[in-house]
Amino acid sequence: MEKVCQYQALKMFLMRYKKVTLLLLISLPLVGHALTWEEFLKSEMDSAYSALEEKASNCRKNRQPLEPIEESWFVNLSRSEKVAATGYIKHLAETDCWGEELSSYNSALLAYTSESKDTQYLDEWLELSNVYRSDDFKREFDALNVKSLVKWYKRQPTVMPFDMIEFLEQYPEFQNSNE
């Protein structure tokens, strides 16, 4: 009986020893590689970007139709001005949908860039953050008075990301068009 107890005690010791050894072996690479502040900030930025990409993908998957805007400020716009105004509304809706993840990424990007002085990610993000303007509509985007547009947008309970073409096709000047 005494030998059985000694055997069980030895077995339990070895099992615990294996767990401790395994735990040490797993954590050793983490301890062995020091993490600089810059690497930490880069890792935080990468994590925030992944979360933003996932949220943006979900927002695009869950697009909702946007009902026609029947207010005179929109109805009276020219065809090309409607395209520009719709581009701004789409941008606002997407930015709102990404919300928290967008703010987190912007903060992480700024922290990393200011610490590392590596502006590559910031430069790329600045380019991507602009409202998309095709060359055909650049003049309309630049000249459009967005005051009424923003006022309308802020009054809406929620504007989800939407399909721009589907929205515009609700207006006569975009129906039966190949553009």
Same domain, 60 and 125: yes
- By percentage, how much of the chain surpasses pLDDT 70? 80
Cα separation, 2 vs 28, in Å, equals: 38
Tell me, what's the pLDDT at 137?
86
Same domain, 46 and 22: no
In contact, 60 and 139? CB cutoff 8 Å: no
Amino acid at 60: R
SS3 146: coil
Domain that holds residue 145: 36-174
Same domain, 27 and 45: no
Same domain, 14 and 94: no
Same domain, 54 and 29: no
Tell me, what's the pLDDT at 117?
96
Cα separation, 119 vs 146, in Å, equals: 31
Q: What is the pTM of this model?
A: 0.75
pLDDT digits (tens, 9 = 90+) for 57-106: 999 999 999 999 999 999 999 999 999 999 999 999 999 999 999 999 99
Same domain, 23 and 40: no
Cα separation, 30 vs 118, in Å, equals: 26
Same domain, 41 and 23: no
Cα separation, 21 vs 134, in Å, equals: 60
User: Is residue 179, in this structure, part of any structural domain at all?
Assistant: no
Residue the block writes with tokens 């000249």:
143
Overall average pLDDT of the 40-63 stretch: 97
Same domain, 86 and 142: yes
Same domain, 84 and 14: no
pLDDT higher than threshold 80 for residue 8: no
Tell me, what's the pLDDT at 4?
45
Structure tokens at 102: 């967008």
Give the count of domains, the chain. Answer: 2
Tell me, what's the pLDDT at 126?
92
Tell me, what's the pLDDT at 32?
54
Mean pLDDT comparison of 6-15, 58-67, 131-140, highest-scoring range: 58-67
Same domain, 19 and 52: no
pLDDT higher than threshold 60 for residue 177: no
pLDDT digits (tens, 9 = 90+) for 17-43: 554 444 444 544 554 578 999 999 999
Same domain, 12 and 77: no
Q: Which residue has the higher pLDDT, 12 or 157?
A: 157
